[in-house]
Amino acid sequence: MPLEPNRIREEKLLAKIAKGGKIETLEEMSDEYREHLTNLMSMQADSELAGAFGYVPWITKSPDIKETLQVAQIVKDEVRHARVMYRLLEGVGVNVDEYYKTHNFSLRVDADDIGTLRAAADKRVNIFYYPIDTWYDFIMFNFCMDRGAGHQLEDSLDCSYKPWCDGMEGIFKEEEMHMAHGDQWAKRLAGDPKTRGELQAAFDKWYPRTMNIFGRARSPKNAIYRKYGLKKRDNDEVRRAFAADIRGKAAKFNLEVPAWAPIASKMSEEPFIPG
């Protein structure tokens, strides 16, 4: 049976979403809904995979055998998250094998600050272009970025596309474990005068980078995502929730929260969805 005209599908889709319904099939999607859904899921998939590749060196460079296993498990989790998301993308018509072959998810930049810009054509959020050079970086990536990802992923847990909601349940639980890993080590390193300074320096580096992932306040793109039920909150609302969470944790560990100011002229239209 041929598809209904796009305008009719759009009207039916918006009416269903307005009533709290979930979209489950391609046939229900308007072209616009499918485009925005694909964009957001691609951002998460690419971020999950690029994140995993960035962690890989720390399997062999971790401080002890326990952490070798822990880092390996985190890498496995992130690759699994990426595969979940790429399967969802296959379901909306993306040729994932072709896409995977044409992007370098191991790419990292040799720069202290790229603001909110992307360094390549993949969809990863730009924090995943930075290398993780030290164990302190690895811990602060868990502490800051996994926490930022968790705040973003809350919207996906109950978004309008049911297959995405279903896939997010397990992903979210594992991201909480990664965050807990960062918290445990941050507490340990901050509590030792010999390591506290290096941990604070890593915090000074990764906190502003994480604050840049959320996108512009009152972004027109975010408004479209909310219209389609793919996001629930404005970018800045999510950023404020993350910042409040970080302030509470930092106070417990006697860490000083670094200063941050938005880059108004370059702030991305697109919020992050990771992991």
What would the pLDDT profile of 212-243 be if each residue is shown by its tens digit? Answer: 999 889 999 999 999 999 999 999 999 999 99
Tell me the residue type at 202: A
pLDDT of residue 266: 44
Predicted confidence band of residue 268 (pLDDT cuts 50, 70, 90): very low
- Token pair belonging to 248: 């509470």
Cα distance from N-terminal residue to C-terminal residue, the chain: 39
Report the distance separating Cα 84 and Cα 55, nearest Å.
Answer: 19
Predicted confidence band of residue 263 (pLDDT cuts 50, 70, 90): confident
pLDDT at position 71 over 70:
yes
As a whole number, mean pLDDT of residues 18-35 equals 96
pLDDT at position 269 over 80:
no
Lowest mean pLDDT among 12-21, 22-31, 200-209, 263-272: 263-272
pLDDT at position 275 over 70:
no
Lowest mean pLDDT among 95-109, 112-126, 194-208: 112-126
pLDDT of residue 100: 96
Q: Give the domains, in start order, of the chain with CATH numbers.
A: 24-105+124-253 (1.20.1260.10)
What is the model's pTM?
Answer: 0.92
